[in-house]
Chains A and B, each alone.
Chain A
């Protein structure tokens, strides 16, 4: 066939074209493996760890919310798992962009590690630190405590109200002060029985202390600011057919026949807000200390249950609450 050389040339040209295009296309195909870098938050939980019905669970819930809504990721360490707080913080610093510590228990360890990593941002909840790379989140617990104090003052029949503190520390003193001033504001005759358990993780001790208060001091309402220790107290109140006020979260479900309300310290809301601030400021905190109060919705009061709370009660409550919110009532801290 006479055109054979022509068709061979055509085929050759065609093959070259295909080859060139394949190589060009191949060059372009390996690009675009960009991994969207999520902000990684590490949290060192309290000594009790996850399931403490307190700080740890609240911080966990706040971070889950931030994870699901703000697009961060987080990891947590428990003391049981790492042995020491130092070890936990050290591990978290390696994997994270920001590390959160919960409570005064971890303060020393956190500061030790923060000194080792002076450019690494740390956050400590419910404590303050002098270190420049440690931002503190604190709450106006006295405001919430004042409000539940109002309720306790209105609902006590024996005019004897108990306060169970976890550890005898300045933070818990704020609870006590707020509660006491609220109680006295609405019910000047009421008497406050105060006792500190010395631990946040002993529910049985809490129950024992609460039981003693009910039996010996004629207390009919007890306010627990004692973490897991307080849970025992709440359950003891139910057993004794007394009333109780929970703390940190709505603890109605712990003892549904006893918990009138709870002083809500929404650590989850605060942590979520802090993470948001961190994100919007490109991995920095504009303030050294962030204080959360009623206004920020980080402090509040759970719905009133178990006991009737009539319009009269409500009216008196609102009267004092408005004054507090308006700033005309100032709580004196120790």
Chain B
């Protein structure tokens, strides 16, 4: 049997292209799973942070005005729905920086007194929001980059999965509570 060389080339090319597409589809699938897991983790860390803020507001460490500001912002964060959530969480960060940025806070952190534990918990919770948001946004951005490729768009390799969005908020903790990283 005689096989024309171009048939061989064509078949090889089609097979290789198919394998390439399969690899791309696998990467996309993994990234979507990753973004979803990262979004859940971010949600959990935001919830943990607002709980830690409420704890700080009600433990009697702060003056009544600061306590009220923080409790109000934390409550707003706990009930916020997706479209507003980025602003409301940023507002909570601003409230934290407005109330907990003084040298008194560093002193309590260094003292080892009763307030120290509450503030250390809060610092840890703020730090984890920073981590979780960075991991989420890195994964979302990577997915976005891959989905922008022509071959992915034209062949609809991403299927019906929604395009992931980065979560944009101000998550910079007040100076005395900052954990490097």
A binds B: no
